[in-house]
Structure 1
């Protein structure tokens, strides 16, 4: 049993590693790729295509896994990501690369929720903090390794190996998954096809509005219209892709809102702090190392979080996590020309502790406060809210940075982050509950 669980962990950790790395590995290499393939006008879409589809399909994958089982959908995601990686490695034009990155993003969308979902099926609440610490370490490792590996492949081989290296990793992940004996028994029902299409289309257009330079309001308006139609369809479908009663559970609803606001406030920090350090003449490698502070803080708080949930309940821990995030935002307000690497890394360590606690507690809540048949979609909605908040937050930060001189832009970014963290903190008021412990709050969804 232990060896089987170890193989499953290898599978989901490898899948998480390649999916997270491919979100950022092109950051340092895309100028070279665009120069070779041509088509600079599509430069931004090489990132957006992956981000949009990986974000949109996460809740869809979670819901389908509730209906048909985790193993099949996870294996499909790995296989589709593998296909997208092969196609990206063979691309001859920028248009092809953008389209193939979309395929890769679809595969990532069907992969990313399952480490948390499968861990929720296999491990007790007390152990999930340690398991999620491993997952967070993979995200931190990918943030540092991705740009370094990208640069290495450019120098010693070809940019195509950025994508082709995924082939053996995905094959190993699929082989390790073969021994997974699923403990969760899916409750089959008809798939909400129209709801899935409307949801994917609506959210894709809204996220695209944060990327395009021309007529973003048109994308946002069309997306909002499709999401309204999606809402109407969901109210009538016998097995909706997003069960609306799930969003009526107060704790689930406010955890989703809090995760969205917290990520919109500060999760995009990792995109701009290395740029700040490079502005102070630190190397790309050293500026990337500062992000390890996030991983250190994340693991320090997420490992004991499972036991803390049993002892203190959700509201107290979410209050602590949001206060910690606010403290990190205030620390980042003081970034300036005299700020050194150690101070920045310390601020990111505090931030990592806040996000580690927030993500672990909300993930446990998403799985424990609903029936087993809703665990997949509930966990995926948490991830969706975080990813959407991050995408919007990064866009806002980018626009603030470009509107003024660099150091003033950096300060504007963290003024925004601190104020948005205050708003996220305010939502904890709605999570207060006298019976806020795991043992007394086993809510169900019919």
Structure 2
């Protein structure tokens, strides 16, 4: 029990600091550019972090299956800590981009482990509560990040947005020391070429979402590399992404469903604050609206573990996707003059949907595979959500920016969200009845 408590402290702090770092950098980047220059490279300070943190998540999960959770997770914390120090010392935008990439590698390695380790140390009926707690950390990060960013810029220096990570990471490492690992790693040959092909292919595809020049070239390179990755993995004795996992139909459908549901509406949280600010609401109030999502998420995530045992996966996933469609309908009716209360209630409904979908699919990713595949399965769930979120933000952003009138763009992006959520609803229909008892502990 003591080991369980200390490791929870470690993974919660790591999740908090990694989730805060993207937002806190976003709010202060204009000030950083004014200090060190490099305005033409502005977007790459986000791109380097986002691409590498997304790509590394499934690879970290697989490495944890091979070498154990503790050492891979600790390596991620150390990389993030080192990258944070270097970012705080950067004197040019080129340096900052490189150091943000190191941070992104560390964040990508760290982020899957809350769900992976929780799956190792908690029984299935308690995992809903744990996932709800993790969600609360995301909500806390959403509030803390802009507040801390403003404080550091006003009273200290922008460099402290990175230096503040150091003590938090150190505490996370110290809390991890007494942890006695539950999972026994399975030794195997490391699939270096598979990891390289996968990382390069996904990175090329992700660049389409943030770089406008040569987008088609990046896309073509990404497709070619991923085809090569698939062919290479089929013949490897210990592939970085086991193809047998994709033959597990319920797990594969849950991964696909996670991608589609995030691609449909997860980008909403990036644009609702902008909508409310155009309505005359303050930065603080527009941020508070996002708490509706966290509240709804926690309400359903807490009992989800017990619901999985009682009802099974398919009915809960169908319910979550039905709530997603209802949310999309409510968002469709948002117009200029829509009240804060309506927006907050709609985002609460969105939280109910994603809280159910994410918690149930995470439990499924852990319970419907063998123990030695739990890390990669959980990480692929996170990976699918990250890719879906990148798609959602990109498509919605494109619709809003290309519209002549702001509110026309907002309405257009929610039309997209409604259509995409209906498509996402079809995925769990293909899941056959799955046993409620876990295949792995």
Q: CA deviation at 1:3?
A: 2.4
Mapped partners of 1:381, 1:389: distance in 2: 12
Residues 38-63 of structure 1 show CA distances to partners (whole Å, capped at 9, x for unaligned) of 11111111111111101000000000
1:442 equivalent to 2:439? Answer yes
Separation (CA, whole Å) in 2 of partners of 1:186 and 1:228: 29
- What SS does structure 2 have at the residue aligned with 1:158? coil
Which SS does the other structure have where 2:426 is aligned? helix
2: CA distance, partners of 1:352 / 1:24: 19
| Aligned-partner Cα distance in 2 for 1:94–1:211 | 17
Indicate if the aligned counterparts of 1:310 and 1:437 stay in contact, CA closer than 8 A: no
Decide whether the 8 Å contact of 1:309 with 1:437 is kept in 2: no
- Could you tell me which residue of structure 2 aligns to residue 411 of structure 1? 411
Paired residue for 1:30? 29
Q: Secondary structure at the match of 1:28?
A: helix
- Per-residue CA distance 1:56-96 (angstroms, 9 max, x = gap): 00000000000000000000000000001001101101111
1:211-241 Cα deviation digits (max 9, x unpaired): 1011101111111111111111101110000
Structure 1 ranges of 4+ moved more than 2 A? 441-444
Aligned length: 440
User: What are the within-5 Å matches in structure 2 for residues 63-102 of structure 1?
Assistant: 63-102=62-101
- Partner SS state of residue 389, structure 1: helix
Aligned equivalent of 2:400? 401
Matches of 1:111 and 1:195, distance apart in 2: 21
In structure 2, C-alpha distance between the alignment counterparts of 1:103 and 1:14, rounded to whole Å? 19
Cα distance in 1 for partners of 2:395, 2:40 equals 22
- Which residue of 2 is the match for residue 352 of structure 1? 351
User: What are the superposed Cα offsets for residues 231-270 of structure 1, whole Å, 9 maximum, x if unpaired?
Assistant: 1110111000000010011101100110000001111111
Task: Give unmatched runs, 5+ long, in structure 2.
Answer: none
- Alpha-carbon offset, residue 341 of structure 1: 1.4
Structure-2 separation of matches of 1:121 and 1:250: 23
Distance in 2 (CA, whole Å) between partners of 1:135 and 1:232 is 37
Whether the 8 Å CA contact 2:371–2:440 is kept in 1: the answer is: no
Partner secondary structure for residue 238 of structure 1: coil
8 Å contact from structure 1 (residues 54, 107) kept in 2: yes
1:353 Cα deviation after fit: 0.8
TM-score for the superposition, normalised by structure 2: 0.98
Cα pair 2:7 2:179 within 8 Å, conserved: yes
Q: Is the 8 A contact 1:312 1:437 kept in 2?
A: no
SS at match of 2:285: helix
User: Deviations along 1:299-329, whole A, 9 cap, x unmatched?
Assistant: 0000000000001100000000011111111
1:17-416 pair list within 5 angstroms: 17-404=16-403, 405-416=405-416
Cα offset, 1:443, TM superposition: 8.7
CA RMSD of aligned residues (A): 1.1
Unaligned runs of 5+ in 1: none
Q: Is the 8 A contact 1:144 1:291 kept in 2?
A: no
TM-score (norm 1): 0.97
